[in-house]
Amino acid sequence: MAGSTLNLGLPYPSGPDANDVPYWMQAQAEALDTLLGAAWQSYTPVLTATTTDPSLGSGTNYVQVGRVLKVGRHVQYRGSLRFGASGAVGGAGTYRVSLPYPPRLGSILLGGVGAVVDNSAGDYYGCAWLLQNVEYMEGRVFGSGTLTATSPFTFTTNDWLNWNITYETDS
């Protein structure tokens, strides 16, 4: 019974007594491995808006990256979106960022913290607002309200959205 569990690489017993290890110990190790899940995974967040979707553009400084860790029903999700040097368009309406898993019905709606950075005017901080059982989040900026294509500033080249949230999912 040599080797290790699939997700976390927990070692199975080895050596001269390995054949004496009861089957249930292997089953327990595999169950723990499944429960804890894999390490951080890549996830590509998608930015949309309620009226006209923005375009992050391309070229220098363009960023569209996310990371997700799911342990049971617990989800930890962080990411960054940065409008590139060419072809960046802010769109129109309330911004929405895709979630890797939908939030659980009845769960707490405040998911975590976020920051938006205006390349020419400064930083703004707020929170991520999760809508129940929908696969996106919206932002609330302290002192400015809902995060939109024009609030707290007009998004354009080299402007950032960053977040780090925790929430619960149904499965």
Please state whether beta strands 110-118 and 122-130 pair in parallel, antiparallel, or not at all (unpaired).
antiparallel
- Give 129's pLDDT tier (boundaries 50, 70, 90): confident
Q: Give the pLDDT confidence score for residue 28 in this predicted structure.
A: 67
Residue 7 Cα to chain centre, angstroms: 20
For 44-78, the pLDDT digits (tens) are 999 999 999 999 999 989 999 999 999 888 899 99
Helix (H, G, I), strand (E, B) or coil at 6: coil
Q: Is the pLDDT of residue 124 over 90?
A: yes
pTM above 0.85, yes or no: no
For 24-44, the pLDDT digits (tens) are 566 666 676 676 666 789 999
Q: Is the pLDDT of residue 141 over 90?
A: yes
Residue 46 Cα to chain centre, angstroms: 11
Domain segments of the chain: what residues? 1-37, 41-168
Helix (H, G, I), strand (E, B) or coil at 30: helix
* Helical spans, DSSP H, in the chain: 23-36
